[in-house]
Structure 1
Amino acid sequence: MGGNKIRNMEEFAALSGISRPTVSKYFNDPGSVRASTRARIEAALEEHDYRPNIYAVNQNRRLTKNIGIVVPYLADPFFAEIARKIELRCIEAGLSPILFSAHGEKDLEVDILDSLRSMKPAGVLLAPLGRISDRGVIEKFCRDVPTILFDSNLDGIGEAFVGSDNFSFVSQSVEYLTRTGNPPILFEMVRPANPNANKRRKAYVSMMERLGFDPQIFQAEGDGWGFEEIGYKEGLRFLDQKPGRTDTVLCSNDRLAIGFLSACFERGIPVGRGETCTLRVAAHDDHPFSRFTCPSLTTVAHDYDQVSNKVIEMLFQLIESGGHFENRSEHLYPAKLVLRSSA
């Protein structure tokens, strides 16, 4: 140890070689872990002379073992997948996850937070709607309930944010597309539901200018979370108008691209990298359905595991620290280019 004091369970778990969720489960209820694991933890406690913050543990018990998970639109398979991973990590730690969906509605998001407050959860993991969220309500909730934001960052609100690096998404897609063919036109919504879209637009403009190309942007009309429908209808308009000076389309997200590919099929436009293809299409997110589109969609993927692991880690640290950190922190994870047939 070299005289250094272990400050929290995270450090103890790392030093002892035992997973953080298992350590937390032990401190909540020693009988809930296997006898062999319990012996390892107790031996490590003795070796490192560590004692947990009993106040934080007891406070967690008074507040129940419930963990609220709030997503903006559970019908979106991206949120279903990230919520699934977070739920499993909560269960591994002996906690009870409760999942809520705001269904893209501002008032419902507010009602969910009111309901969670009355349930007195140990903590909450919140992916806010973003553009239409009531910032004042969310800011007050985060002050009252240990809350970690993920996916959509509301600048300055909450104790910490965990998500994907939007510049990492777009820099990889633009670099690949410009290196292998004509520079792309960005296909995005004029009123995006999620604030990540705005960051991707800025990253697209920055990368195109950095590489010496003029940015080209097509703004699809439409509002709400029906991205596939907007991608299809506005994709037809795009194909009929033929805006821009390129045969390469980069969609802001995969769900828009799924609709856009459907429009291409209806117009009889072959998409892909082959000699007979007249259009390349790529996007961002690695939506669970993107590998099953026709053709399969070239995209840039979230690191679901890293994000889900980090939000749980940060929430545990927040609970142990009494619900507040000294400074707000942001944790962004890079994306990964996934090459498929569409571009």
Structure 2
Amino acid sequence: MNPTKVRNMDEFARLSGVSRPTLSKYFNDPNSVRPSSRARIEQALEQYDFRPNLYAMNQNRRLTKTVGIVVPYLADPFFAEIARNIEQRIIEAGYRPALYSAHGRPDLEVDILDGLRSLKPAGVLLAPLGRASVKSEIESFCRDVPTVLFDSNIEGMGAAFIGSDNASFVNQTVDYLVRSGSPPCFFEMKNPANPNANKRRLAYLRRMEELGFQPHVISVDGTGWAFEEIGRKGGLDVLERKALPTNTVLCSNDRLAIGFLSACCESSVRVGIGPDCDLRVASHDDHPFSRFTCPPLTTAAHDYEAVSERAVRTLFELIESGGKLDERLEVLYPARLILRGSA
């Protein structure tokens, strides 16, 4: 046997050449993996000094094989896409995903967490509403159930937060728009449903000031999650009033931008980068439909794969450690600028 002590499942996965989900399946049920994978794992167990955390695994067997996934609004294609990525990884690890949507309602978010408690899940991946969440209920739930937050952070709650770096989104779009044309104004909702919108506004203000430009924030009326309609109505209003201070518009998110593009079409305002165009429009998120707008939308994209993979991996590390990490973990992934015809 190699005398080197293997500290955890991730290290053993690297040494054995077997994926982390396959190892989890093996240690729960050796017959659940292919014979070739089982042989490789057992050979590595003979070679290296590694044994899984039996306490944590036994504890999990007294619970269910369920992993809860809670999102603010499943009809939002961003949450549908990241939930799809997370579900696939949970299934590959031999667990059962249970997906819930709070539909933007704090009371329903609390009810979902109470219901999950009674199911005794192995762990939960939670994208909270944020400012609208009942923070005392979130804090209590995270004490009782191994929980990793994603997308929206609530400081100090959950064992970890995995998400996207909102400053990275805005810095990349602002820098590109300034290099390629006039500085952008920022188009947003007055009362955004998602707390990431506030971080993006602050990042816009900071970056414009760093570059020596006057920032202009246009906040339109609207509440809830009907972002496209809010963007359309707000866009029609500012276009009719000729209230845009620049011919470059940076939207807080792609769903607002889709509504704004609709308003431009209705108002016969041509969007794009050609000499006959009136406005440039860019945004954030890489919404699944953003490539199909007219013109296709320039945007800063989430790294869906990285966020979902790290969130699931961190949750399984938390489960294996008995429900606690040495310290609260925060991981932010940068955006990737995607240039299309709108800007």
Contact between 2:149 and 2:161, CA under 8 Å: does it hold in 1? yes
Paired amino acid for 2:245: R
Separation of aligned partners in 1, 2:245 and 2:198: 23
Q: Counterparts in 2 of 1:1-343, with a 5 A limit?
A: 4-343=4-343
1:242 CA drift (Å):
2.5
The CA deviation string for residues 20-72 of structure 1, in whole angstroms up to 9 with x for no partner, is 11111111111100000000011111111210001111111111110000011
Contact between 1:8 and 1:320, CA under 8 Å: does it hold in 2? no
Separation of aligned partners in 1, 2:204 and 2:137: 32
Separation of aligned partners in 2, 1:329 and 1:4: 27
1:4 CA drift (Å):
4.7
Separation of aligned partners in 2, 1:4 and 1:253: 49
Stretches of 4+ aligned residues off by more than 6 angstroms: none
Separation of aligned partners in 2, 1:182 and 1:2: 62
1:167 CA drift (Å):
0.7
The CA deviation string for residues 144-190 of structure 1, in whole angstroms up to 9 with x for no partner, is 00000000011111110000110110000000000000000000111
Separation of aligned partners in 1, 2:280 and 2:139: 42
Contact between 1:86 and 1:312, CA under 8 Å: does it hold in 2? yes
Q: Give RMSD over aligned pairs.
A: 1.1
- TM-score normalised by L of structure 1: 0.98
Paired amino acid for 2:299: T
Contact between 2:130 and 2:152, CA under 8 Å: does it hold in 1? yes
Separation of aligned partners in 2, 1:18 and 1:27: 13
Paired amino acid for 1:268: S
1:247 CA drift (Å):
0.1
The CA deviation string for residues 63-109 of structure 1, in whole angstroms up to 9 with x for no partner, is 11100000110001111110001000011000000100111111110
Paired amino acid for 1:6: V
Separation of aligned partners in 1, 2:2 and 2:54: 24
- TM-score normalised by L of structure 2: 0.98
Separation of aligned partners in 1, 2:14 and 2:203: 36
Contact between 1:13 and 1:20, CA under 8 Å: does it hold in 2? yes
Separation of aligned partners in 1, 2:341 and 2:289: 14
Q: SS at 1:342's partner residue? A: coil
1:232 CA drift (Å):
0.5
What number of residue pairs does the alignment pair up?
A: 343
Contact between 2:71 and 2:101, CA under 8 Å: does it hold in 1? yes
The CA deviation string for residues 93-128 of structure 1, in whole angstroms up to 9 with x for no partner, is 000001001111111100000000000000000001
Contact between 2:4 and 2:49, CA under 8 Å: does it hold in 1? no
Separation of aligned partners in 1, 2:60 and 2:193: 34
Contact between 1:318 and 1:324, CA under 8 Å: does it hold in 2? yes
Separation of aligned partners in 2, 1:209 and 1:268: 33
Paired amino acid for 2:131: R
What is the identity percentage for the equivalent residue pairs of Structure 1 and Structure 2? 69
Q: SS at 1:284's partner residue? A: strand
**Using a 3 Å threshold, how does the CA distance of structure 1 residues 249 and 330 change in structure 2: closer, same or farther?**
same
Separation of aligned partners in 2, 1:126 and 1:246: 39
Separation of aligned partners in 2, 1:31 and 1:279: 61
Separation of aligned partners in 1, 2:295 and 2:94: 43
Separation of aligned partners in 1, 2:29 and 2:64: 13
Q: SS at 2:285's partner residue? A: coil
Contact between 2:4 and 2:48, CA under 8 Å: does it hold in 1? no
1:3 CA drift (Å):
5.6
